[in-house]
Amino acid sequence: AQTVTQSQPEMSVQEAETVTLSCTYDTSESDYYLFWYKQPPSRQMILVIRQEAYKQQNATENRFSVNFQKAAKSFSLKISDSQLGDAAMYFCAYRSAYTGNQFYFGTGTSLTVIP
Amino acid sequence: DSGVTQTPKHLITATGQRVTLRCSPRSGDLSVYWYQQSLDQGLQFLIQYYNGEERAKGNILERFSAQQFPDLHSELNLSSLELGDSALYFCASSRAGFGQPQHFGDGTRLSIL
């Protein structure tokens, strides 16, 4: 089974600064999707960004962008101009194209934004 | 609003009891997923249904069961409840096509006293 690893349980960033959250995954598959989800204190799960494995161009959504390194099986999330509302738990997820389209989630990184 | 509806939002019950959590997926979504999230923990995948059929099973206890009905809503049944079952239970849905993301409901917070 695929595994998703988020090696940083906690991170902090000063407001207006940039922070990068790490995610690595283990797979033997060639095609898949990767996602970042945000879970603020309200506990809602919110989709932040997604990336298809076959696309070399890194996905971007406003202040959120990814650094996708397929060979290294790395999928990091960069948050620019951090805002207080970015404080949340961030989960990296992998979706297989083959094994029943199941999702695999990492254990999460808790991001604190310091005013 | 994700379009995924979970009821009830909160549930308080006692050990040994049985409860049913309900999920209505987004319109057009055929897949439903159930997750358990204990306090300060990650998401534990329980089970997935696709168009009424079980598609994948995760760390779901034998005391737990689920089903997806012809109208695509899903129910998660938890029985012989234990204190450790206290958690936030999420339902998520997605469209067919592996590039489609999951959309999550707001969760049902289950408290076992």
Q: Is the dihedral of CA B104, B2, A43, A35 positive or negative?
A: positive
According to the model, what pLDDT value does residue B41 have?
A: 76
| Residue of A81 and B43 predicted with greater confidence | A81
Residue labelled with tokens 């309200």: A42
According to the model, what pLDDT value does residue A29 have?
A: 86
| Residue of B107 and A98 predicted with greater confidence | B107
According to the model, what pLDDT value does residue A55 have?
A: 86
**CA–CA gap between residue A31 and residue A60 (Å, rounded):** 20
C-alpha gyration radius of chain B: 13
CB-CB: which of B2, B33, B50 is closest to A103? B33
To the nearest whole percent, how much of chain B has pLDDT over 70? Answer: 98
Tokens of B40: 């300060």
pLDDT tens digits, one per residue of A26-48:
998 888 899 999 999 988 999 99
Indicate which of A49, A101, A104 best probes the interface with B, i.e. most B CBs within 10 Å of its own CB: A101
State whether residue B74 is helix, strand or coil.
strand
CB contact under 8 A, B98 and A91: no
CB contact under 8 A, B99 and A33: yes
Residue B39 binned pLDDT confidence (cut-offs 50, 70, 90): confident
pLDDT at A99 over 70: no
Instruction: Phi first, then psi: give them for residue A70, nearest 5 degrees.
Output: -65, -45
Within 8 A of A102 by CB-CB distance, chain B residues are 45, 48, 55-56
- Per DSSP bridges, beta strands B44-50 and B31-37 are antiparallel
